[in-house]
Amino acid sequence: MNSRTSRPSRASGARTPHVSVHNRYGTRLRLGSYIADIVPDDRKKPFIHHCIVQRIGSPKVLYLGQEGTFAAALECGHRQLERLVAPHRPKVGAIYEFATVEALKQ
């Protein structure tokens, strides 16, 4: 054994402890400067899909949800991205009317 750790050293040919890393594969949606990751979680019964929405490059989670199907999680992620991007889109064909106070009094 190595004096600094409790693991057997590789040089002695002993096996190291097995570390179980749960491999997760997901789907990523991107719209504007936001992303939505759809991540399956087979550890839960019933099987669920997590929807995680973030701004690109930011660790802050803007939305976190769970859905029972991949399709529902995908739809939820897309809806959240649309909601975040919508205020930043220019409104096409907006009509503005201007009136003075005097014109409104008549």
Q: Which amino acid is at 8?
A: P
**Could you tell me if 34 and 81 are in contact, meaning their C-beta atoms sit under 8 angstroms apart?**
yes
CA neighbor of 38 nearest in space, from 46, 48, 47, 26: 26
pLDDT of residue 48 exceeding 70, the answer is yes
Q: Tell me the C-alpha to C-alpha distance, in Å, between residue 103 and each of 19, 96, 97, 98, 106.
A: 77, 16, 12, 10, 6
User: What percentage of the chain has pLDDT greater than the value 70?
Assistant: 63
If one compares 79 and 92, the residue with the highest pLDDT of the two is 79
Q: Six-digit token pair at 33?
A: 């400067």
The answer to whether 50 and 73 are in contact (CB under 8 A) is yes
Q: How confident is the model at residue 14 (pLDDT cuts 50, 70, 90)?
A: very low
Mean pLDDT computed over every residue of the chain: 76
